[in-house]
Amino acid sequence: MVNLKYSTNYLLHDLSSQQLDQLKKKAVEAKNHSYSPYSKFRVGCCILTKDNLFVDGANVENASYGGAICAERTAAVKAVTSGQKDWLAIAISGDRIDDCTSPCGICRQFIREFASLDMPVIMLNSDGSQAVLKSFGDLLPMSFGPGSF
């Protein structure tokens, strides 16, 4: 049983319990593919698309720190370049056991291009036993995205 802190469970109405379990499991497992020799902080992400596909990603660092890419953008690029631009939910897991990992600012803006404001964002601790659930709009209020101009 996962402890959903600050939960707004209505956000999960479009997801089955099997989809939610798989999404969380894949986000936690995706950390195993991280390349993070500089920060030593692995992050995994999984996006569930409307076609019921699970697309995962991990952070990939670079000696030129600006050349690094976060797990969320890795997963997003994989989804979009596979023709999956309609998403149901996203889950993120980092290496901290006592704290859930949220997307950074650039990832929030990048995700905004493809996410609805009511899309659930599931932020997990390292083993998935703790979660914070928010809508994407809660994470990026007054956002700038498609249709903003």
Going residue by residue through the chain (149 aa), what tens digit of pLDDT does each one get?
355 544 455 677 788 999 999 999 999 999 999 999 999 999 999 999 999 999 999 999 999 999 999 999 999 999 999 999 999 999 999 999 999 999 999 999 999 999 999 999 999 999 999 999 999 999 999 888 887 76
User: Is 30 marked as a binding-site residue?
Assistant: no
Q: Which residues of 30-56 are buried (b: 16+ CB within 10 A; e: fewer)?
A: bbeebebeeeeebbbbbbbbeeeebbb
Question: Cα dist. 9→40, 51, 73 in Å?
Answer: 33, 22, 25
Angle, nearest 10°, between helix axes 71-81 and 105-112?
A: 20
3-state SS class at 130: strand
Write down the CATH number for the domain with range 3-139.
3.40.140.10
Which pLDDT belongs to residue 6?
45
Catalytic (active site) residue 113: no
Which pLDDT belongs to residue 70?
98
Q: What is the pTM of this model?
A: 0.91
User: Is 60 marked as a binding-site residue?
Assistant: yes
Across 3-148, the runs of DSSP E, i.e. the strands, are 3-5, 43-49, 54-58, 87-94, 120-124, 130-135
Which pLDDT belongs to residue 1?
37
User: Is 3 marked as a binding-site residue?
Assistant: no
- Candidates 23, 72, 100, 131; catalytic one: 72
Residues 103 and 58: beta-carbon distance below 8 Å: no
User: Is 6 marked as a binding-site residue?
Assistant: no
Structural domain spans, the chain: 3-139
